Amino acid sequence: MSVIIGFLFMAAVYLILSRSLLRVIIGTGLLSHGAHLLILTMGGFAGPAPPVVADGVTDYVDPLPQALILTAIVISFGVTAFFLVMAYRAYQELETDNMTLLKGNDEHD
């Protein structure tokens, strides 16, 4: 699992460092996937049963990381939605999606 997460992080870093804004956003998506999978992995995979109280089951998987991931997923979903709309607005106004062209200083500073 850690190898897969490492690969996700690698791909995310590569995409975030690229020029096109959409590739950057895809990179942040992969980055949050990696982070969420990492929480799951770090919580450990011990315990076969899902964390639901049921008769005769004593060995549950750790429920805390799942709650953390759920929280982190909705947060990153909200941020990604905002970011995508921002990218759309920026494309309308600035007429480019090239990150290197976004650095200009139209003022004196």
Partner 1 sequence: MTNLLLFPILIPILTASVLLFFPKRVAAQRAVTVVGLVASIIAALFLLRTVMTDGVQAVTLGSWPAPFGISMVSDPLSVSLVLTSLLITLGVVVYSFRSIGEGREKYFYYPAILFMLTGINGSFTTGDIFNLFVFFEVLLLASYLLIVLGGEKRQLRESIKYILVNVVSSAFFVTTVAMLYSVVGSLNMADIAEKVTEIGQSGILTVIAVMLILVFGLKGAIFPLYFWLPGSYAAPPVPVLALFGALLTKVGVYAIIRTVTLLFPHDPGFTHELLMILAILTVIAGCIGALAYYDLKQIVIYNIIIAVGVILFGVAQMNMAGLEGAVFYLIHDMLIKAGLFMLIGVIIAITGTSNLREMGGLMKTYPGLAWTWLVAAFGLAGIPPLSGFFGKLLIVQGAFEADNLWGGIIILASSLIVLLSVIRIFIHAFWGEPMPVKGTSAGIYRGLLIPAVLVTALTVFYGVGTEWLRPLMWDAAEILHQPSIYIDAVLKE
Give the binding site for partner 1 (CB under 8 A): 16, 21, 24, 28, 31-32, 34-36, 38-39, 41-44, 64-65, 68, 71-72, 75-76, 78-79, 82-83, 86-87, 89-90, 93-94, 102-104, 106-109
CB of 50 to partner 1, least distance (A): 20
Contacts of 23 (CB under 8 A, 6+ apart): 15
57 vs 67, beta carbon nearer partner 1: 67
CB of 26 to partner 1, least distance (A): 12
Contacts of 97 (CB under 8 A, 6+ apart): 20, 21, 22, 87, 90, 91
55 vs 109, beta carbon nearer partner 1: 109
Do residues 26 and 20 touch, judged by C-beta distance below 8 A?
no
CB of 47 to partner 1, least distance (A): 14
CB of 89 to partner 1, least distance (A): 6
